[in-house]
Chain A
């Protein structure tokens, strides 16, 4: 009896459940892709058949409907620029925190890690206030114009800093000491040694942080809704949310699915390409 449950029933049932789970995930991703090529009637009537004749124009209509073109551009620029800035700020900081013998290095590392436990909710009000004040301040006193997307970029970068510094500090610590010593003997200054020697050696860790932030920023929604809610300023998740809530008036279901594909397929391609590294990065420093 003990054997039957502990060795056969429980493991078997779990294995079947896991494969069902896997099948569901794969089916969902493929199904969304298929639905995006159907017209709205077909989406409803034959939700599980292959599209009879592919309606590529769904993409064109999604593109126009919720200003997806602007959103896609915003998402791409903000995501790439944001994740590069995050790395540019966090990598040098993590490097000196990990390698310095100064006594402040430890407490400062902890100071950055503290940010990981401050929930975004605590910052929601300050962020809204800063956004409004910054806009007025810049427009009235400095440049005469301001774009909330810049504020959005700033906060996307800042809020991602603790995690990036945390992961990179751990990573930099695992690098051999000899590398930059060799560089120094060759007479390279700190900046040169960092850019030419340390960064290339730390590339796997830096790439991981970069990719994780690309995924994180691409899917970010709350900040976008708070900081740049206007149609021409928002990013893809917010645009999709808008398309979805206007659904009962437009009922352009094919277009909705096209919007979903535009949002999720780029990340799936990234995952297919770098899958293991993404998983390892997200679980780094916690597992093992």
Chain B
């Protein structure tokens, strides 16, 4: 559930002197907060720091000896082909997928304001968000099988069947599946911002003779830019941890290990940990830290690119 990621914490109510030390809820402050705070610190924050520590060592897991490697794990990642491929894949997925998702989202924003059945369209497009990607992969994998429906249909059209889930094409299918499953979420997000734009602005624009497209470009997009900036950050964060859909699309053809051409960093890290070889936890932990750093950099970059003067409604 990535929603809400990295949006700065909600503003805290300014201290009101007159209400200060309302006995009940102030007395309850620590008792109410501590269970969550302790659990979160001990099992989320501390392990993250421990992960960073492991990434500086060579380690095969509890019971075996940990030896200091410094930054060697990170350097080893640089020369590791499997990691490089999965890293590039993750980037491609984030960029190509992001372009498609927001392309579709923008087009939808142009028409979803007044089309018939708009609420229905919005909710059905959102549907894939609540469905397990493993199930989607298994169902669509059936359609894309070498002797599957899609290839049969291509045959009727006189076209050659394609090995959709083979190593060369599967990555494109994954991008497609990802775009299909996530666009509805971003449409819902952006449309909730569009909904709050007063109708009279559009009426004025119509009087001036602006086309639908121009209304989108000059009204809808500028007035929803804040939400778009947040959505873009969300997309970046979510796309860096893509895992299930890769496994789902590649399991049908090659059980166990997804082909290298389709691996994302999350998948690569998982194969390293769950594979049969002696686990190299230091390496795998370094991957995690790299993802954390890349996430931070991309967020900063996305914020920078999407930063604009805020448009205020008078």
> Please, what's the 1-or-0 string for B41-65, where 1 marks a CB less than 8 Å from any CB in chain A?
0011101101110110000011000
The answer to whether A108 touches B24, judged by C-beta atoms less than 8 angstroms apart, is no
Name A's interface SS.
Answer: helix
- Identify B44's interface contact among A99, A115, A193, CB under 8 A: A115
Contacts of B67 in A (CB 8 A): none
Would B141 and A25 count as touching, CB distance under 8 A? no
Q: Which residue of A lies closest to B181 (CB)?
A: A25
Interface membership of A141, Cβ < 8 A: no
A211 to nearest B CB, angstroms? 10
Determine which of B4, B47, B61, B188 lies in contact with A127 in the assembled complex, contact meaning CB atoms within 8 Å: B47
A residues in contact with B185, CB < 8 Å: 282-283
- The interface bits of chain A over 95-116 (1 if a CB of B lies within 8 angstroms of the residue's CB, else 0) are 1111111110110111011011
| A225 engages B274 (CB within 8 Å) | yes
- Which residues does chain B contribute within 8 Å of A47, judged by CB atoms? 142, 149
| Binding-face segment, B75-83, B189-197, B301-309 | B189-197
A12 to chain B, nearest CB (A): 9
Residues of chain B contacted by A226 (CB below 8 angstroms):
270, 273-274
- B121, A268: Cβ atoms closer than 8 Å: no
Digitize A39-54: 1 where CB-to-B-CB distance is under 8 Å, 0 elsewhere. Answer: 0000110011000000
**A163-B185 Cα distance, complex, nearest whole Å:** 16
Judge whether A92 and B40 touch: CB under 8 Å. Answer: no
Query: Do residues A165 and B47 form an inter-chain contact, with CB atoms below 8 A?
Result: no
Interface members, chain B 206-259 (any A CB < 8 Å) = 211-214, 227, 230-231, 234, 237, 240-241, 243-244, 247-248, 251-252, 255-256
Given known A117-B237, A158-B44, A189-B24, contact A268–B243 (CB-CB < 8 A): no
Residues of B within 8 A of A181 (CB): 22
Inter-subunit contact B123/A279 (CB<8 Å): yes
Interface 9-mer from B26-34, B91-99, B167-175 = B26-34
B127 within 8 A of A: yes
A280–B188 alpha-carbon span in the complex (Å): 8
Residue of A nearest to B5 (CB): A116
Interchain CB contact under 8 A, B139 and A28: yes
1/0 contact trace for A171-209 toward B, CB 8 Å?
Answer: 001000100110110001111011000000000000000
Give the contacting residue for A100; candidates B25, B252, B281, B284; CB below 8 A: B25
Tell whether, in the assembled complex, residue B211 and residue A121 are in contact, meaning their CB atoms are under 8 Å apart: no
A53 to chain B, nearest CB (A): 21
Would A271 and B130 be within 8 Å (CB), given that A47-B149, A93-B33 are in contact?
Answer: yes
Complex contact A124–B32 (CB within 8 A): no
B149 touching A14, Cβ below 8 Å: no
Number of B interface residues at 8 Å Cβ cutoff, please give it: 120
The residue among B43, B50, B237 with the most chain A CB atoms within 10 A of its own CB is B43
The one of B10, B32, B51, B213 in contact with A96, judged by C-beta atoms closer than 8 angstroms, is B32
A245–B147 Cα distance when bound, in Å, is 17
Q: Is A65 an interface residue (CB 8 A)?
A: no
Report chain B residues within 8 Å CB of A133. 62
Contacting residues, chain A, for B1 (C-beta < 8 A): 160, 163, 212-213, 216, 282
Chain A, interface size: which category?
A: 35 or more
* Cα A88 to Cα B175 with chains together (Å): 38
Contact B132 A245 (CB under 8 A): no
A124 touches B284 (CB 8 A): yes
Could you tell me the distance between the alpha carbons of A22 and B128 in the complex, rounded to whole angstroms? 11
CB distance from B133 to the nearest CB of A (A): 7
B35 within 8 A of partner (CB): yes
- B111 CB contacts on chain A under 8 angstroms: 11, 14-15, 18
Other-chain contact of B3, A130, A219, A286 (Cβ < 8 Å): A286
| Chain A residues closer than 8 Å to B35, beta-carbon distance | 89, 92-93
Q: A128-B281, A279-B126 are in contact. Are A121 and B287 (CB under 8 A)?
A: yes
Nearest CB of chain B from residue A182's CB, rounded to whole Å: 11
With an 8 A cutoff between CB atoms, is B129 at the interface? yes
Q: With a CB–CB cut-off of 8 A, which chain B residues contact A59?
A: none
Whether A11 lies near B110 (C-beta < 8 A) is yes
- Scan B269-296; emit 1 where CB is below 8 A from any A CB, else 0: 1100110000101001101110110011
A-B contact pairs, 11 of them (CB 8 A): A6-B212, A29-B127, A96-B29, A100-B26, A101-B26, A125-B285, A161-B44, A163-B1, A166-B7, A190-B31, A244-B134
Q: Which B residues are within 8 Å of any A CB, using their own CB?
A: 1-10, 12-13, 15-16, 19-29, 31-33, 35-37, 39-40, 43-45, 47-48, 50-52, 54-55, 61-62, 104, 107-108, 110-112, 115, 120-135, 137-142, 147, 149, 185, 188-190, 192-193, 196, 211-214, 227, 230-231, 234, 237, 240-241, 243-244, 247-248, 251-252, 255-256, 265-266, 269-270, 273-274, 279, 281, 284-285, 287-289, 291-292, 295-296, 299
Given A161-B36, A219-B131, 14 new contacts (CB under 8 A)? A21-B125, A22-B124, A48-B149, A102-B26, A108-B37, A112-B9, A116-B5, A123-B288, A125-B55, A128-B273, A129-B50, A163-B4, A263-B135, A271-B127
